[in-house]
Structure 1
Amino acid sequence: MTDLTHIDDIRREYLKGGLNEQDLAENPIEQFNKWLEQAINANMTADPTAMNIATVDEFNRPSQRTVLLKQVKDEGFVFFTNLSSHKAKDIEQNPNVNLHFAWLPLERQISIQGVAHKLSLTENAKYFLSRPRDSQLAALTSKQSKSISSRKMLDMAFEQIKNKFKNNEIPVPDFWGGYLVVPERIEFWQGGAKRLHDRFEYRLVDGVWELHRLQP
């Protein structure tokens, strides 16, 4: 059994290499794509596109959950969800969000502050119809974030939906859709020896990205 009384002793040096300003692209989306490609090619995790999204509710209580990044556009970052979920309700009353990628085997993190905008019905349908059939059925089945009495009830509901559309195209649910997070600030973090990490912040000022090194 692992001894948890000394977790404060768990530490390691970050020795993958530093990050210099001349190594960074002028545009943070381009820099993000470079790091994402490296994370995918490193085969370090089953979910290199996994990101935490932080929102706040009407009482200013923060919450986080992991979702999958589905598109990177020049304008920002796209994910999809149930539009009646907790996160969607939070975004409805406060569209300011934070996305966080942790590629720890590469000793890298990216933090993105931005504003979430709903995608169009056309964009939602295009992606929904590209999903595997079981994923489409699951979207119709799940009333995300609502209570349910048991896993058995969820499985039964899935089978009912599956039988209902057995020989038919699955419609795009009106309670399902995507968001484009338009960034205003993006930070790239690279671990460094002696806890002297390299941090660079891109901040959008009057439509232009400014780049600054931050102290660790």
Structure 2
Amino acid sequence: MTRELADTGTGPTQVKIADGELIARTLAGETRAFDELMLRYRDRVYRLAYHMLWNEQEADDAAQEVFVRAYCHLKKFRGDSGFFTWLYRIAKNVVYTQAKKSGRRREIARLAHRRFLLQGRPAPTPEAYAERGELRELIRDGLRSLEPKQQEVLVLRGIEGLDNDEVARVLNVPVGTVKSRFFRAQENLRQWFEAHEPSRQEGQA
């Protein structure tokens, strides 16, 4: 997020303000500073909520609740980790509460790229599927077959692009646990896709 600082006559000068400074300004009573934090991270928070709830309205409601809680508890942010890591912990709790209220299973991303999920193994040609929607459904069903803890690691690693250390801080687990969950998730997905690929099922028919 950028912000106008001055007009020198040749156009506004813009600079990205650090999260820490925006937090300090918010705590000092500058509400616009928190607005900028929200604009900076709202898409990522919404994306997490949507990938777990699979409903646009519920995801939007959850994202708003995340920022309300973040604003109310901003004084508790100690800076031991990045602001986004702290925000993600809040988002995780809000989303899981929302999922329980709606009676949904925790779900994962619908458009996660299969090549990422099946690292090291070439994906079938597009001709193997009648429609692109069929591939999306196959991916979605495969992801749903995973345990919730494996799902959340895939959301953070595969969709949000966090590294192992960042995921560990978000989930409050050791880095080794993140690595093992991610590895097991990939292996389970490989096995699931091998068993459910249309070409394989047709050959067994």
Same-fold status (TM-score > 0.5): no
Query: Per chain length, whose mean CA-contact separation is higher, i.e. which structure has more relative contact order (CA < 8 Å, sep 6+)?
Result: 1
Please identify which structure carries the higher strand content.
1
Please identify which structure carries the higher helix content.
2
Query: Could you say which TM-score interval applies, normalised by the shorter chain?
Result: under 0.3
* TM-score where L is the length of structure 1: 0.26
